[in-house]
Structures are given as structure tokens and as C-alpha cells.
Amino acid sequence: MKILVCAKQVPEATEVRVNPETGTLNRDGVASILNPFCEYAMDLALEIKAKAPATEIVVLTMGPPQARMALLRCLEMGADKAILVTDRRFAGADTWATALTIAKIVGKLDAVDLILVGKHAIDGDTAQVGPMLAEVLNIPQITYAVGIEVEETAKGAPRVRVRRENEGGYERVQMRLPGLVSVSKGAASRQVCSFQAILDARAKEIRTMTADDLGLDEAELGLKGSLTQVVKVFPPTVKAPGRIVGGADAPKAAKEVVDLLKAKHFV
């Protein structure tokens, strides 16, 4: 079985600031990390591999050369191979152009049984690339997964049984492969890799691919191939905190609320 995990390098969310003049994110001096939800996807891939050691995990990222660090993190966790898709012509790609590019790469790999993606990246927060990728590849998809099991059918065709979040709790959904699953947090926690795993990761294969390797027209790449464009990024307006009326004296608290509503001309 072959699993492809799509990963993304993102800026540390707590350190990102918006430039008030340009309306863009100021990434200077901001540490980059592996998107947490991509790490949760890696966790599920590793759970499958633990039960079926013959499983091969390939991790893919699209970004600038420094995105290699996100791949190294995945290799340290236990991925077998990695693919870095990097080219200036990919710059400015929106979710559609990104999904189309990844779909082209999937088509060039040996048969991929299962694609795992994080439910969204913490920088863009669109949650669109995974579903778009499944649509472009014309494969089934399950979203918001927190657990996954691979099983064989009577005819020998593999399928997955997924525990997914919904508004009221959880549900079990099954899907024949090949397919795509987007992963939520669940019970996953950040792994601490051993020193030996960190050393072993440096010896694993990281393949680099550029736009020339994909056979896509330049009009389909990056900003040129994007159907949407971010005009401006801005922080939300900070609202003043509300007034809390408390105390053990209920009649007094009720009178205070009524007086406040009268002062605001609500009553």
C-alpha cells in the first residue's frame, strides 16, 4: 500500500503580524513550522504503517526551497520518501492552482492508494486544497477524520473505515480506495523524535520537482493559473470586553442589568 501525505510549511501563527501599509503578512524573522494538521495526517499514516509495515509513506510539499524543513520533520517522524515541489512559477498559487499542480504530481507517481491531507493550513485556513484535489483526481473523499483503519473487502480491494467529526459528535464512514482523507486533530499530540530518527531522516530521499517536470501550461501555474487572488489581509477589529454582572444578590444584579439596558435605550 502507498500513502501520499500532503504537507505544508507555515509561519508560526502566534508570531505573524500584518503590515498595516501593505495589508500583507510580515513573515520576516518569523519561524516556520510544519502545519499542525499535516502533522496529524502523518500520525494517521504512521498508525497504518505500524499495523502494515510494508506500507510506503511518501510526503509531498509545494513551496520555496526552505519548505524542505517541513519534509525533514515528516521524515523524522517516519515517512519513507519526500518530494519537494519548488519553482518560482508556482508563486502566488491559490487553492485551485495548488490542487491542479499536486494532481499532476500524483499522476506521475506509482499507484497511490490513499492521500492524506490536513483539514486546513493555519495560515490560509481555507480547507479547500484537499477537496479540490479529490475532485480533480475524480476519487472519493472523507473529511474531518480523527481515526482510520484499512481493511480488505471480500474481493481483495482495500477500503478504509474512518472515524470523523461532525457537529454532534462522531460518525463512522467507509470508502473504497483509492481515495482522499482530510484529517482533524483528534487525540494526536506533537511527537518528539529520537536523535537516531533525526539522523536517519537525513539519509532518506528528498526528490525535487519543478514546473518543467509536470507538463503543465504556464497559464495554469502560480498566480497566472489562480482563479482567486487575495487583495488584502487585515487583523480583526478588537472589540471592547463586555460588562459582567455578578454577585450572589440576584435582585440587585437584575436591577443592575435593567438599569444598564435603560441607559443604552434598549428598554
Check: CB of residue 180 under 8 Å from CB of residue 76: no
The enclosing domain of 7 has a CATH number of 3.40.50.620
Total domains, the chain: 1
Asked if residue 10 belongs to a domain, the reply is yes
Q: Looking at the domain assignment, is residue 256 inside a domain?
A: no
Instruction: For residue 96, report the phi and psi dihedrals to the nearest 5 degrees.
Output: -65, -50
Please write the tens of the pLDDT for every residue from 49-91. Answer: 999 999 999 999 998 898 999 999 999 999 999 999 999 999 8
Asked whether 8 and 99 are in contact (CB, 8 A), the reply is: no
Q: Which residues contact 250 (CB under 8 A, 6 or more apart)?
A: none
The pLDDT of 135-162, averaged and rounded, is: 88
Extract the C-alpha cell encoding 110: 506509482
What share of the chain has pLDDT > 90, as a percent?
A: 50
Mean pLDDT of the chain: 87
Predicted confidence band of residue 122 (pLDDT cuts 50, 70, 90): confident
Whether residue 73 contacts residue 19, with contact meaning beta carbons closer than 8 Å, is answered with: no
Amino acid identity of residue 245, one-letter, is V
pTM of the model: 0.82
The whole-angstrom separation of Cα 171 and Cα 142 is 11
C-alpha cell at 264: 443604552
- Whole-number pLDDT of residue 23: 60
Report the pLDDT averaged over residues 109-133.
91
Spatial separation of the C-alpha atoms in residues 31 and 43, rounded to whole Å: 23
Q: Which domain holds residue 23?
A: 2-220
Which of 1-5, 12-16, 64-68 shows the lowest per-residue confidence on average (mean pLDDT)?
12-16
Please tell me the distance from the alpha carbon of residue 134 to that of residue 180, in angstroms, as a whole number.
6
**pLDDT at residue number 243:** 81
Is 226 contained in some domain? Answer: no
Q: Which residues contact 182 (CB under 8 A, 6 or more apart)?
A: 41, 116, 117, 118, 119, 127, 130, 131, 141, 142, 143, 144, 145
The CA distance from 11 to 30, in Å, is 6
Q: Is residue 255 part of a domain?
A: no
Neighbouring C-alpha atoms within 13 Å toward the C-beta of 145: 28
Task: Give Cβ neighbours of residue 67 (< 8 Å, ≥ 6 apart).
Answer: 8, 9, 61, 84, 86
Whether 227 is covered by a domain: the verdict is no
Query: Residues in the chain, how many?
Result: 267
Look at residue 225 and tell me if it is in a domain: no
What pLDDT score was predicted for residue 204? 93
Say if strands 25-26 and 81-85 run parallel, antiparallel, or are unpaired: unpaired
In a domain, 135, yes or no: yes
Residue 232 has pLDDT above 80, yes or no: no
In a domain, 82, yes or no: yes
Q: Are 210 and 216 in contact (CB under 8 A)?
A: no
Residue 241 has a pLDDT of: 84
pLDDT exceeds 80 at position 16: no
DSSP string of 105-119? HHHHSS---EEEEES
How many percent of the chain have pLDDT more than 70?
Answer: 90
